[in-house]
Amino acid sequence: MVFPTTCSLVSPRYFRTQETEHFRRYVDPRVGLVRIDPIFFGSVLRACSASHLAVLSEGSALKSNLANALTLLFCEAAGVMKAQAKPCIAYGCDAGRLDEFVRTLAADLCSETYFLARAEPSLAAARELGLRGHMGTDPAWTFPEKGGGWAEARLAEVGWDGRRPLVGAAVTNPFRWPVKPSLARLLRAAARGNWEDHYRRWYFFSSTDEGRRRFDAYLRAGAAVLDNVARRHGAIVLILGLDARDLDACRRLQLLVSSPSEIFSAHQYDGYELCAVLRRLSVLLTSDYHGRVLSMPAGVPAIALSLDERLLNLYEETGQRRELYFEAGAEGLLEKLDGAGELAVRERERITAETLAFMPGALESLGRMGLFMRRYVEESFPGIGLGPAPRTWREALGPVEKSLERFLE
């Protein structure tokens, strides 16, 4: 759902991304897309050299937990813009733990990058690197669902009558990260014909016996909770893979779930459709950060099962960490999740109210990010013609879908 991107905001308008085939549907058709090769050094240099302003947009922009290569891509972009005396801004990003050599590079190359953080711990981490910045929020709060009754019609095909509870799991494999390059693993995979842990080119997911054991325990605990909610409350089970790479995890979970279930994968459904399904759930078990973000406008009670500090930060902000956030590798996971599942059903009204109470502030923060971005562009390019300035953060937020209007009253 979130793509590693650098883009120029001054004509010509282009997004530079590694996922052009999936990204096109989410941007204005007038915006061009330029693919960044996984061997990114030359393509990032060319992209930045052809741009007037770089916007770095990725939740893991300055973190080592997913892939140092991804972080280095953003650091290179920031460094090129710095060397060419061009403005660079990290928009709605996160910073966190960095391996030491990446931390040293980031502090140098990103020193002129302005950082709009999604959470206070991210802002603190960015400032420790010497970056200027302030608090923003995630840019996805206004992401729309597919309307026209699509969700109701599709869910009716799996037996939903509009009244039965829907329990969903946005599942991934949190134990296969970080992704690292390895020529030795590439040669072994080619020789044996075994590409099970291959990501792309010479990049491979992490693979250890301990990681596989923890992943199995994670799946079994998740399956048991889904079955328990389905059995006790007559719920229909949905399994969601919000990233195409999560399809294997979805299939493995489905094999462990005794109740009838349906997979909704990014292989088959786009973000608008997955968002619509998320917002119809009665209870969500999620290891995906944006699974939680996209479900929140509907007030869906969600239990986080994660190793991702982005989810941890969000649950801290909503005040739901103690009751509804759990480490994916924790001991006694089944008992903890089962208790949280029953809590989510039993106290649905309270948890929904807490979740919805967070939305007005999130939308205001996003609108204020828009105001700041305009000022940033005006100050970077004096005399540029941008049209009439929005007078308030609400105007800067722009049009929103009808379901979000209630949060703006």
352 burial type by CB count under 10 A (0-12 exposed, 13-18 middle, 19+ buried)? middle
Q: What is the pLDDT of residue 390?
A: 94
pLDDT band at 19 (very low <50, low <70, confident <90, very high): low
What pLDDT digit, counting tens, does each position of 108-158 carry? 999 999 999 999 999 999 999 999 999 999 999 999 999 999 999 999 999
Q: What is the pLDDT of residue 21?
A: 62
Distance of alpha carbon 34 from alpha carbon 19, whole angstroms: 9
What pLDDT digit, counting tens, does each position of 397-407 carry? 999 999 999 99
Check pLDDT > 70 for residue 236. Answer: yes
Q: What is the pLDDT of residue 378?
A: 94
Q: What is the pLDDT of residue 20?
A: 54
- CA torsion sign for 356, 358, 364, 366 is negative
Greater confidence, 366 or 1?
A: 366
Contact call for residues 355 and 318 (beta carbons, < 8 A): yes
HEC profile of 233-284: HCCEEEEEECCHHHHHHHHHHHHHCCCCEEEEECCCCCHHHHHHHHCCCCEE
Question: Across-strand partners of 303?
Answer: 285
What pLDDT digit, counting tens, does each position of 312-333 carry? 999 999 999 999 999 998 888 9
Q: What is the pLDDT of residue 66?
A: 87
Check pLDDT > 90 for residue 259. Answer: yes
HEC profile of the chain: CCCCEEEECCCCCEEEECCHHHHHHHCCCCCEEEECCCCCHHHHHHHHHCCCCEEECCCCCECCCCCHHHHHHHHHHHHHHHHCCCCEEEEEECECCCCHHHHHHHHHHCCCCEEEECCHHHHHHHHHCCCEEEECCCHHHHCCCCCCCHHHHHHHCCCCCCCCCEEEEECCCCCCCCCEECHHHHHHHHHHCCCCCEEECCEECCCCHHHHHHHHHHHHHHHHHHHHHHHHHCCEEEEEECCHHHHHHHHHHHHHCCCCEEEEECCCCCHHHHHHHHCCCCEEEECCHHHHHHHHHHCCCEEEEECCHHHHHHHHHHCCHHHHEEECCCCCHHHHHHHHHHHHHHCHHHHHHHHHHHHHHHHHHHHHHHHHHHHHHHHHCCCCCCCCCCCCHHHHHCCCCHHHHHHHC
Q: What is the pLDDT of residue 16?
A: 43
Q: To which residue do tokens 């779930």 refer?
A: 257
For the chain, give the percent of residues with pLDDT over 70. 95
What pLDDT digit, counting tens, does each position of 72-88 carry? 999 999 999 999 999 99
Check pLDDT > 90 for residue 384. Answer: no
For the chain, what is the mean pLDDT? 90
At residue 320's C-alpha, the angle toward residues 254 and 141, to 5°, is: 75
Q: What is the pLDDT of residue 12?
A: 32
Check pLDDT > 60 for residue 161. Answer: yes
